[in-house]
Structure 1
C-alpha cells in the first residue's frame, strides 16, 4: 500500500486548490482515494474486533467527500485539504459518537468522540456527565487514555453555564463543552510505518470507553 501517494496528492491539491487542477489530476485523486480506502478498511477491521456496533460497517460508508459540501467548510477553496473517515454506527453522518482518521500532510490526526452533537444529544451527554461524574472522570483520567491522548477532551465551551446547571457545579467546565473529542497527531513518518494500522487501532481501542459513555448517553430516551 503506497500511503505516500495520499500525501503527495494532498500536497499538490493544497498548492492548487481549484477545479481545473483537480480535473487535470483526477486519475491521481482516484488512486490516492483508493489507497486511503484500503487503509481505512484495515483500521476498520481492527476496530470491529472490539466495537460490536461497527460490525456491518464498510470502509465506503465511513469516508467523507473531498468536496466542500456542508456549512462547516469555510473559505473559497472548493476542496478539503485532507481525506477523512468517521467510523460510527450507521455511517459517517450518523448521530453516534465514533472514531476518526484524518490525513493531511503535516496535520494528520486520529481521534474519537462526538463533534457538535445535536441539541437533544448534547443535553443527554451533559446529563450523563452530571449523574455519572465519577465514571466520566475515571475514564478520562485512566493512565493509558492519558498516554495516548495527552491533550484530553477538546472542544468549544459555552461562556455561561448551560440551562439547568449551577455555575458552582464542580463539573461545570465539562458541562459547558459543546463537543467531546480526543485526538492525537499522526506525523507523516508514522503514517508510512509498516505498523501504523496496529498502532492506530491500539489508540482507538483505548478511546472505546469514551465512545461507549457518549453513545450510552445519546441513546437514552
Structure 2
C-alpha cells in the first residue's frame, strides 16, 4: 500500500503529540518524511512536464515543518500531524501561487490551488483589479462546467463589498471581489490515497484543472513584492 508509512506516522503523532514521543520516534518519522519527499519530487517532475511555469525544486524546499508556532494559540500541542507542500513557481512561497498538497489522516487530506494567504492586502487589491479588468476571462474560468464540477472558490470573505468597490455590488463578480484570499480545495479520503493505482498521475490530473485559475491569479500578482520585515 503506497504511502502507508506517511499515514501510520501521522496517525501516531496525532495520538502522541508531545516532544518525548516525537524524539523517540525519529526512525519512524525519518522513513515517513523520506516517503513524502519522494512523492513531492515525483509530483514536481510530473507537474513541470505539464505546466512549465513550475520549476523543479528539491522536495526539502517545498515542504513545511511539523513544528507548530504555539505562541498565540490556545492549542499548545507542539506538532502539526500533517505533511504539507506547496509546489509553485518560486517553491513554497505563497506568491506566485501554485499547487498545494495537504496530507492528514482520517480523511482530512486535500489538493489545493490559488492564494491561501489573506494577510497581503496588496495582493488582494491586485486580484480584485484583475477580476474587474478581465471579468469575462475570469468568469469563463470559474464558471466552466468542468471547473465547477470539481471546485468551489473558497477563502476569507468580507460580508460587505470592500470600500471603493460598492459600484460592483450588482455585478456577476461582486462575490469574488469580497475575497481577501482565493483558493481551491479538492478533498481526498485516506483510501483514495492509499489505494490509488497511480497517485502521482491522478494528482497531477486534478492539479491541472486548477492551472487556468492559478495562471489568472499569477498574472494579477506578477508585480507583487513581499513586504520587508522590520
TM-score under structure 2 length normalisation: 0.89
2:123 match: secondary structure: helix
Q: Does 1:208 align with 2:216?
A: no
Structure 1 residues 38 and 70: alpha-carbon distance in aligned structure 2, compared to 1, 3 A threshold: farther
Structure 1 residues 194 and 70: alpha-carbon distance in aligned structure 2, compared to 1, 3 A threshold: farther
Aligned length: 219
Name 1:49's counterpart in structure 2.
49
Q: Matched residues in 2 for 1:154 and 1:112: separation?
A: 10
Name 1:189's counterpart in structure 2.
191
Q: Matched residues in 1 for 2:38 and 2:3: separation?
A: 10
Q: Does 1:88 align with 2:91?
A: no
Name 2:110's counterpart in structure 1.
109
Q: Matched residues in 1 for 2:187 and 2:217: separation?
A: 22
Structure 1 residues 175 and 76: alpha-carbon distance in aligned structure 2, compared to 1, 3 A threshold: same
- List alignment gaps of at least 5 residues for structure 2: 225-230
Q: CA deviation at 1:145?
A: 1.6
Structure 1 residues 86 and 137: alpha-carbon distance in aligned structure 2, compared to 1, 3 A threshold: same
Name 1:148's counterpart in structure 2.
150
Name 1:7's counterpart in structure 2.
7
Structure 1 residues 71 and 92: alpha-carbon distance in aligned structure 2, compared to 1, 3 A threshold: farther
Name 2:227's counterpart in structure 1.
none
Structure 1 residues 50 and 79: alpha-carbon distance in aligned structure 2, compared to 1, 3 A threshold: same
2:186 match: secondary structure: strand
Q: Matched residues in 2 for 1:217 and 1:120: separation?
A: 11
Q: CA deviation at 1:195?
A: 1.6
Kept in 2: contact 1:64–1:83 (CA 8 A): yes
TM-score under structure 1 length normalisation: 0.92
Kept in 1: contact 2:94–2:116 (CA 8 A): no
Q: Matched residues in 1 for 2:94 and 2:116: separation?
A: 11
Q: CA deviation at 1:40?
A: 1.1
